[in-house]
Amino acid sequence: MESNIKDVARLANVSISTVSRVMNMPEKVAIETRVKVQEAMKELNYTPNALARGLIYKRTKSLGVLIPDISNMFYSEMLHGMEHAAQRHHYNLILCNTDNNKARMLESLNMLKEKQIDGLVFTSEPVYPDYYEVFKKLQIPIVLAATHSLEFDIPSVKVNDEQASFDAAECLIKHGHRRIGMICGSITDNVTAMPRLQGFLRALRVHDLETDVDSQVQFGGYKFEDGYEAMGQLLRKFPDITAVFASSDERALGAISYLHEHGKSVPEDISVIGFDNLRLAQMSIPKLTTVGQPLYQIGYLAVEKLDHLIQNEHVGELRTYVRHELVERQSVARR
């Protein structure tokens, strides 16, 4: 039932070369032959086979995307941007969810290589040296999205986390807060969590506030439940707190939830500022003040950068830093 170029050629009474030409350089074939062939293609419901094409062109117009957890809005917004850029540049996206699991990641990478992807976008997670080894073996253009590597020269696009956190903290300070806690990511993550911590501390220092990481900062996961948990810890260790910087929106909502359940109202008693500006930041009560990263744009630019790499065009800067933006809503109050 599936028809190939041969069937078309036979039906149109031409050679397969001619059929191929009709598809790729139609101006090179006589007008009558052309329509004859096109009619045959239509009649047979013919579609060219991208596998055969890819074999010859050594190019598949497919990109691999490695994502730790697609159901996380953080990644899905980025993915959305990637998908649009991919459509624009005629790529397909092959999606691999890694669950932050190294074995699964390597497996996916292997599968992607076998499928001859033209390029790869790697999201979040730092690039550990052994990852870099694998990347090198892949022999494929790679772009990092929402992460970067200072050790290795891999193109990347992300926000300036240190500065963004600085701005978040400064926002709280400018609203008159002096006793500020932070809910931070894992201490082992120095591509995202550490810069954010540093930005936070810098803001405190710049404004002559004392800093005490031990009591003031709570480390943990990025999820709602982690934020909830962390808020509890923080309140115990640092009771006279008036504001909290939660370095992800989910954590922020978790914190707010904890505060709400423990009779503190936001922002009247305690102000909370988040990080990311996911769609859910507008949906909470109170609406969340947060420092936004343009996730859609990060995804979009990552794919465009990858395309440049693939086309061997100039890549622009190796490490692109996109603008963050302070989004003031209702979870931060003047004090």
Partner DNA sequence: TGCTTTTATGAAAACCTTTTCACCCAGGAT
Partner DNA sequence: ATCCTGGGTGAAAAGGTTTTCATAAAAGCA
Question: Which residues of the chain form contacts with a copy of itself (CB under 8 A)?
Answer: 1-2, 45, 47-52, 54-55, 60, 62, 65, 69-73, 76-77, 79-80, 83-84, 87, 92-97, 104, 110-116, 137, 139, 224, 250, 253-254, 256-257, 260, 279-280, 282-285, 287, 296
In the region spanning residues 16 to 75, those forming contacts with DNA, defined by CB under 7 A, are: 16-21, 23-24, 28-30, 32-33, 46-49, 51-53, 55-58
The Cα–Cα gap between 276 and 79 comes to 15
d(CA 251, CA 257): 10
Compare residues 219 and 228 and give the one whose CB is closer to a copy of itself.
Answer: 228
131 is a contact residue toward DNA (CB under 7 A): no
Q: Is the distance from CB of 92 to CB of 312 less than 8 angstroms?
A: no
Query: Residue 177 forms beta bridges with which residues?
Result: none
110 binds DNA (CB under 7 A): no
Nearer to DNA, 40 or 333 (CB): 40
Are 147 and 156 in contact, with CB atoms under 8 Å apart? yes
Q: Which is nearer to a copy of itself, 65 or 157 (CB)?
A: 65
Q: Which is nearer to DNA, 58 or 334 (CB)?
A: 58
216 near 182, Cβ under 8 Å?
yes
Q: How many CA atoms lie within 13 A of 68 on its CB side?
A: 15
Instruction: Select 52 or 213, whichever has its Cβ closest to DNA.
Output: 52
CA distances from 207 to 18, 171, 195, 320 (A): 74, 11, 18, 29
- Reported as half-sphere exposure (CB side, CA atoms, 13 A), residue 112 has a value of 33
330 binds, among DNA, a copy of itself, none (CB under 5 to 8 A by kind): none
Task: List contacts with DNA (CB under 7 A).
Answer: 2, 4-6, 13-21, 23-24, 28-30, 32-33, 46-49, 51-53, 55-58
